[in-house]
Structure 1
Amino acid sequence: MSSLEPRTRSWLEQHGFTIRNEAIWHEALTHGSTGEAKDYDRLEFLGDRVLGLTIADWLYDQSQSAEGKLAQRLNALVSKQTCAGRARAINTSAHVRLGKQAREDGAQDSDNVLGDIMESLLGANFLDAGFDATRDLIRALWREVFDGSTGRRKHPKSALQEWAAGNQRRPPDYEVTDTSGPDHNRLYTVQVSVHNVGAVKATAGGKREAETEAARLFMEKYG
């Protein structure tokens, strides 16, 4: 059975995680580049759903906003960048288990890896301690961004969609024009165009993030 380093167990417990089955937590911190039989992918899948339900319930309880505004904030609060930011806030990069090449490439500080690891840790906590404990943990870890401005402004893609409709233009078209970089730090280049107006490209560590940045840049240039 895989066990945790004492410093890693102490770090997890310090930040409110419940450690019972150490093998789950070993898996939650293990990147695929190590070549081990189990890595964090499955736990990430689970944690993503637990996070989404928790934030949706929290927003519903705390806000009287309409569905569109709730969805806007939900998407921002569970985004890869927000998850990576929460991971950085508790110094997760010091405990990620990576292969030599991935570490040399700086994977321990990439939004993709840290965002995935944050979700995998939530998945591990759900399995080890249940939903109620994990909901309370998420509320503690996300309190700063939940109470802040994250997701309160109109999402760039929504703003561009409304701008196009308001100016009698066709809906914006998003196209991935290039992907580059290793699997743990994949970069996506997306072009957004509006017929008879123009086109703008942006690159980010995820397709959605690149679309969002492209929409933001388009509005800066043409909006």
Structure 2
Amino acid sequence: MPEDFLHFNFQQHIPVPSTWQTQGYDQHQYTNVNYPFPFDPPYVPQENPCGLYHRTFDFQPNANKRYLINFEGVDSCLFLYVNQQFIGYSQVSHCTAEFDLTDYLQQGENHLTALVLKWCDGSYLEDQDKFRMSGIFRDVYILEREQNYLQDFFIKTTLSEDLKSAVVNLDIFSASLKMPQQSPIIFLIHKEKNFSIPNRTNSA
């Protein structure tokens, strides 16, 4: 791959989602108990096939929103660039990779470039009985979010010894660095059919 690959003159087209092997690139490869490359963890062959994807799109971002791009499946790893700026890296082929593009998008024309490698050190964990397919094989899309939004949460329940009561701990992760340390949380607890505890507000 040339060092100036971000300025590559693209002349071929490939549908996304798809894999290289089903579009006439590279070779089909099937393995069962063997690795598809010489076993030398965590290293993979220096001659590592890659795919370079580029998409130009017009965009009018709202200054009060955040924009996140999602790759639902990329085999085996992904280097992402927007407007020739490095955004991030991801591997684990069958998991969603999400990147915040808010600070990199510009009014009007934008350039999205994705460099995908056929093998990475994570390929050692994916030695299943299957055909080896490479590329962006699931959907790609951009989500619009509020500046402050709930990104993730984790609920942990600790039961009493007699199993008649419980303590519920809720860890909430906000995607905004601007959210104050003390923020109101409204919750509603349901118990059995047609029974509920009224709304309550707490701080976290």
TM-score normalised by the chain length of structure 2:
0.26
Please identify the structure whose Cα radius of gyration is greater. Answer: 2
More strand by share: 2
Q: TM-score, normalised by structure 1?
A: 0.25
